[in-house]
Amino acid sequence: MNQKLIRVLFCCMGNICRSPTAQGVFTKLVIEEGLSPLIEVDSAGTHAYHVGEPPDPRARDTAQRRGIDLSRQRARRAVAEDFERFDYVLAMDQDNHRALSSLCPPGFEDRLKLFMDYAPHLKIREVPDPYYGGANGFEVVFDMVDEAARGLLEAIRRERLGSV
């Protein structure tokens, strides 16, 4: 089978809380399903506040408790070329969706979506930013991200992979 690599980019504001968590959760799902040769996963931020930094310690701790290691990730800023490289550019909230929309080159708008649209049963459109809250906020975000990641993987299977 000569399958084109499917690329997924998760985006939040600083790329240290929500999007690295989504990258870690989705990567784990992809590996568990044996799809890592077919799906590439990354994350980025719409702002350059934390470029080069690892994910927030609270995000790393939450993920680690759930069997996911975020320690190798480093924050980067999203760029217009990401829309050409990635098939899915997934914003964590409306503010980041707007910021990404302003970066998006003409003809690539269909790649930009809200991540939580892949978990419609939760009836929540945005992943809240846990940065200024306590550790419990990171737990809530992880649970939301896990649900949306499962929905995303099902959508990719249906839309791009057929019966794989």
Active site residues: 12, 18, 129
Q: Spell out the alpha helix ranges (H) of the chain.
A: 18-32, 57-65, 82-85, 94-103, 135-156
Contacts 24+ apart (CB under 8 A), 62-67: 62/21, 62/135, 62/138, 62/139, 62/141, 62/142, 63/21, 63/24, 63/25, 63/142, 66/142, 67/28
Q: How many Å apart are CA 39 and CA 10, to the nearest integer?
A: 13
Phi-psi region of 123 (alpha: psi -120 to 50; beta: other; left: phi over 0): left
Q: Residue 120 has which token pair?
A: 């419609």
44 by DSSP, 3-state: which? Answer: strand
Give the residue carrying structure tokens 């993987």: 153
